[in-house]
Structure 1
Amino acid sequence: MFSVRSARHFSTSALRAVSIKTAPASSETVSSLKVVIKNAGSKSAPAGLSHLLASSTFFDTPEKSGLRLKREAELLGGEYSAEVTRDALVLKASFLKEGLPFFVNALGSSISKAAYKPHELAEVAGPYASHVYASKTTCPKFKALEELHAISYRSGLGLPLYYDGSKTYSSEDIKAFAKSSIFSENIEIVGENVEAADLEKFVSESPFATLPTGNDVNALPQPTYTGAESRIRQAGKTSAIIGLPVKDADAYELVAAGLLSSVPESITATADSKVLSYDGSSLFYFAVTSSDAAEVSSIIKAAAKDLKSVDFSKFSKLATLLAGKEVTSKSVSVPSDFNFVVVGDVDAVPLKSEL
């Protein structure tokens, strides 16, 4: 994970519109690369397609099989992964410092020369994506947060983060989406514990230098919705979430801090409150999860009451600590309406109108 300190010292250069950033090199023996493909996240594709693209990364290219790539990476003391966010497709690699040329080339080949073969989708990428979705949705908080996105945005940021199997895609669909989103203006390469000049040189000699150019897509404001409620009956723990799309992210960092400060100590309940920042919008939420649905009910009621009555401007120090950035004190005006999601024992948690 990149530290806040490192991020502040990034230097930037460009190659054919590819953004290259590096943190200062150190004496550590392990380096890392992150390739961020903007506008290739879940909000930019039909439901689940971006996750399938992430799951189809690091397979066969004209030069190497996926198996050979994996074994060579392991021999060099490295590993790689791909994940989808709502804004982007993110490729990561960590490796011994001297492996930089190999991993620059491997990451570049994986996005510019991928074959996207039908059997890879049927036998590996598809089943793996379905497994990730199934494992994630056993968590009621994750499921509630996904539903909060869905009712807050409906399309775009409201699309599911992972492939849920409700749609059928072919390898040609994945290939077409990759072609539409993987071009130089959409690529940001971030290196940690690498020499900037070395990274720029290796990128210039890698498949990254052959990526097609395209039009840089600026994030547009997302249509947002409030006042909605969703209740999903599910066995296991119960999770309840209050949330809404917001324009002033810093102000709601104060709200998040204030709500968390008043949560009672508990051995069964966990509470979480954050502002999720995306290109084009931010989403505030307060969530509580417990095996005791009555406890969820009590805490979510108290949080809803605090939203209407507490002066959150006094929580700037706590908000700065929790957010990991400076949050200045300001007057916070919380709307009277919000979105509400319950997953689990929905009978034990009050309706939105009762909060």
Structure 2
Amino acid sequence: MFSSARHFSSAAARAVSVKTVPVAVESVSSLKVVVKNAGSKSASAGLAHLLSTSAFLDTTEKSGLRLKREAELLGGEYSAEVTRDALVLKATFLKESLPFFVNSLASTLSDAAYKPHELNEIAGPYASQVYATESANPEFKALEELHAVSYRSGLGLPLYYDGSKSYTNEDIKTLAKEAFLSENVEIIGENVNAADLEKIVSESKFASLPKGNDVIAQKQPTYTGAESRIRQAGKTSAVIGLPVEDASAYELVAAGLISSVPESFSATVDSKVLSYEGSNLFYFSVTSPNASEVSTIISAAAKALKSTDFSKYSKLASLLAGKEVAAKSVSVPADFNLVVVGDVDAVPLKSEL
């Protein structure tokens, strides 16, 4: 197996990035196309999600049905997702089908039709279903609100299309035209030959994507000391968090909080540092059908933030993060953000934590 990273330039000096990474299972290959500046932070609320649900539909050369059926006949499949930083297209297939899937992914970026009926009948309803499903989870809803109060715009925009804005297929076309530039595109191949991948990409429509400016990660404006409480039936979720610069330091904090909170059979506890281009967001969350239990655990976590020596958690942090996390002193500011979703009356106010 191998790990390599290369860049190719065609005669037109395209800057699409191509790299390969090793995988444990050699019978299946995959391609991932990461399009920067096409994530939720880069467009009006929900529009990037509609762009992702419009992927792998009709192109100027093939119908979406034909594209899917041909992939299935070759033992492959497609998927698309939106992140806050990017649109991610993926194809999984048998190794010998590499040329077909490179060309199909390239065509999805360069030749998508974005027909009005597809938005109304397929992309829009599917996006709304994803939003409804995810929003039924109070922890997801609380994390979304934590992003909103921590960043407001950019990374604070909703990840999924919530129906609060109306868009047309022309809006999706415009976003695609602005985002599908050679400098924004990175192609990652798993279990493929690096030289073969570079050659096929250089001969595909990836090589003729319009050229734009280099992608520069902008530092996100951040906000702390905020509180948001959303009343909702069902389980209760509480999240404390704040934007941070030193991600590795707060991986120590995440590990320390996981270790120090009271044990529970019914509560789900999580703590992580979410790393984005331009910012990192630390959070601790607890979700339970028992709102009083949420109150107890979030109060314990807030107390631990103020009094714990987190430098001693480097081994656990390294285990949880899957990388070496050095011990260091961490001073956690008192003006963290708090979000509560569910039985908000049972959970203390931020000023009471």
TM beyond 0.5: yes
String of CA shifts for 1:229-285, please: whole Å, max 9, x gaps: 000011110000000000010100000000001123222101000000000000000
Give 2:129's aligned amino acid: H
Match of 1:253 in 2: 251
Residues 190-339 of structure 1 mapped to structure 2, 5 A cutoff? 190-339=188-337
- In 1, the alpha carbon distance for the partners of 2:93 and 2:209 equals 24
String of CA shifts for 1:187-243, please: whole Å, max 9, x gaps: 000000000011011111211111010001201111100000000011110000000
Q: What is the CA distance between 1:62 and its match in structure 2?
A: 1.4
Q: What is the CA distance between 1:186 and its match in structure 2?
A: 0.4
2:6 maps to 1:12: yes
Structure 2: give runs of 5+ residues left out of the alignment.
Answer: none
Match of 1:40 in 2: 38
Q: What is the CA distance between 1:24 and its match in structure 2?
A: 4.1
Q: Secondary structure at the match of 2:87?
A: strand
- In 1, the alpha carbon distance for the partners of 2:350 and 2:25 equals 54
Q: What is the CA distance between 1:139 and its match in structure 2?
A: 0.2
Q: What is the CA distance between 1:41 and its match in structure 2?
A: 0.2
Give 2:101's aligned amino acid: F
- In 1, the alpha carbon distance for the partners of 2:129 and 2:320 equals 32
- In 2, the alpha carbon distance for the partners of 1:186 and 1:116 equals 20
Give 1:10's aligned amino acid: S
Q: Secondary structure at the match of 2:287?
A: strand
- In 2, the alpha carbon distance for the partners of 1:324 and 1:25 equals 17
Give 2:5's aligned amino acid: S
Q: What is the CA distance between 1:326 and its match in structure 2?
A: 1.0
Match of 1:153 in 2: 151
Q: What is the CA distance between 1:25 and its match in structure 2?
A: 7.6
Match of 1:119 in 2: 117
- In 2, the alpha carbon distance for the partners of 1:27 and 1:224 equals 41
String of CA shifts for 1:47-77, please: whole Å, max 9, x gaps: 0000000000101111110000000000110
- 1:316–1:329 Cα contact (<8 Å) kept: yes
Structure 1: give runs of 5+ residues left out of the alignment.
Answer: none
- In 2, the alpha carbon distance for the partners of 1:181 and 1:327 equals 35
- In 2, the alpha carbon distance for the partners of 1:214 and 1:92 equals 23
String of CA shifts for 1:81-137, please: whole Å, max 9, x gaps: 110000000001111111111110010000110010000000000000000000000
Q: What is the CA distance between 1:23 and its match in structure 2?
A: 1.8
Note closer, same or farther for the CA distance 1:257–1:26 as it changes in structure 2 (3 Å cut): closer
2:12 maps to 1:28: no
Note closer, same or farther for the CA distance 1:315–1:18 as it changes in structure 2 (3 Å cut): same
Count the aligned residue pairs: 349
What is the aligned-residue identity percentage? 77
Note closer, same or farther for the CA distance 1:25–1:137 as it changes in structure 2 (3 Å cut): closer
- In 1, the alpha carbon distance for the partners of 2:72 and 2:38 equals 28
- In 2, the alpha carbon distance for the partners of 1:189 and 1:232 equals 40
Q: Secondary structure at the match of 1:294?
A: helix
- 1:25–1:194 Cα contact (<8 Å) kept: no
2:46 maps to 1:52: no
Q: Secondary structure at the match of 1:61?
A: coil
Give 2:188's aligned amino acid: V
- In 1, the alpha carbon distance for the partners of 2:218 and 2:337 equals 22
2:90 maps to 1:92: yes
Q: What is the CA distance between 1:13 and its match in structure 2?
A: 2.3
Match of 2:140 in 1: 142
Q: What is the CA distance between 1:28 and its match in structure 2?
A: 1.5
- 2:8–2:202 Cα contact (<8 Å) kept: no
- In 2, the alpha carbon distance for the partners of 1:350 and 1:136 equals 25
Give 1:72's aligned amino acid: E
- In 2, the alpha carbon distance for the partners of 1:224 and 1:273 equals 20
Give 1:124's aligned amino acid: I
Q: Secondary structure at the match of 1:255?
A: helix
After TM superposition, where is structure 1 displaced by more than 3 Å over at least 4 residues in a row? 24-27
Q: Secondary structure at the match of 1:308?
A: helix
- In 2, the alpha carbon distance for the partners of 1:104 and 1:146 equals 34
RMSD: 1.2
- In 2, the alpha carbon distance for the partners of 1:220 and 1:195 equals 34
String of CA shifts for 1:21-61, please: whole Å, max 9, x gaps: 10248872200010000011000000000000000010111
Match of 2:348 in 1: 350
Give 2:161's aligned amino acid: Y
- In 2, the alpha carbon distance for the partners of 1:306 and 1:55 equals 42
Q: Secondary structure at the match of 1:286?
A: strand
- TM-score, structure 1 length as denominator? 0.96
- In 1, the alpha carbon distance for the partners of 2:337 and 2:202 equals 48
Give 1:300's aligned amino acid: I
Q: Secondary structure at the match of 2:8?
A: strand
